[in-house]
Structure 1
Amino acid sequence: MVKKEILIVDDQFGIRLLLTDILEGEGYSVATAVSGKEAFDKLKKNTYSLVLLDYNLPIMHGGEVLRQMDLEHIEVPVIVMSGLSDQVKGEITDYTNVKQVLAKPFNILDVQELIRITLDS
């Protein structure tokens, strides 16, 4: 069985580390990116099963990453993470690859369940 690879995109080291530890512990392969630009560069070169994308990122904003993915036809399910989840929901309605908006701070059990549901659908 091939490991599913998840790309975690967040400029906060602690969140990347926490999510990496949890997801690797569940058997996923994990890649990380600190900025939207780094994430988009990785998305152009690699195939991922899922992207956990912080919306408020340096260099290239999460919304711009979604727009570029759309323009390049990169079809990967995305869970957007944001401290302003209600505002973000209104800004990303046109992106069909966004499966869920996760409010920060989040409960790690909710994240694990959301990832399982997204990868199984």
Structure 2
Amino acid sequence: MSKKILIVDDEIGIRLLLKEILIQDGHQIYQAKTGEEALDKITVTPFDLLIIDYHLPILDGVSVLKRLQEKDIYLPCIFMTGMFEMLIDELEEMDFVTGIIAKPFHVHELLKLVRGTLYERRH
């Protein structure tokens, strides 16, 4: 069954790579390049998964997650970051962060995390 996934990253190369991989895996992909754009899309479309980067213009990934939490919007999230060690404690406190992946990531590792989040977890 196709799932709706929102990819949020200001790097077009990352968004396009993830889009291609996840479409091949059978998913509907939506994209945003800023945290504010992501929040706008989340309020109008029910997504099954959010894949978001930490470093985003204006509103970073952690701030997006905090705003979702404040609005009581539950959306399973995979967080991408190049600063894995520094953020792991803060991110693990957020209930809907289902995985954290360090950049650069391996495609197979990301796919395993996506599939685990979408099909193996029970919310």
TM-score (norm 1): 0.96
Structure 2 partner of 1:115: 114
For residue 101 of structure 1, what is the amino acid of its counterpart? I
Q: Percent identity, aligned pairs only? A: 39
Structure 1 partner of 2:43: 44
List per-residue Cα deviations over 1:8-61 (Å, max 9, x = no partner). Answer: 000000000000001011110000000001001111111101000101111111
Q: Which runs of 5+ in 1 are unaligned?
A: none
1:105 lines up with 2:86 in the alignment:
no
Q: Which runs of 5+ in 2 are unaligned?
A: none
SS in structure 2 at match of 1:92: helix
SS in structure 2 at match of 1:80: strand
**2: CA distance between counterparts of 1:98 and 1:92?**
7
TM-score (norm 2): 0.94
For residue 29 of structure 2, what is the amino acid of its counterpart? V
List, as ranges, runs of 4+ consecutive aligned residues in structure 1 with deviation greater than 6 Å: none
**2: CA distance between counterparts of 1:94 and 1:67?**
11
Q: How many residues are paired up? A: 120
- Structure 1 residue 94 displacement after superposition: 2.5
For residue 33 of structure 2, what is the amino acid of its counterpart? V
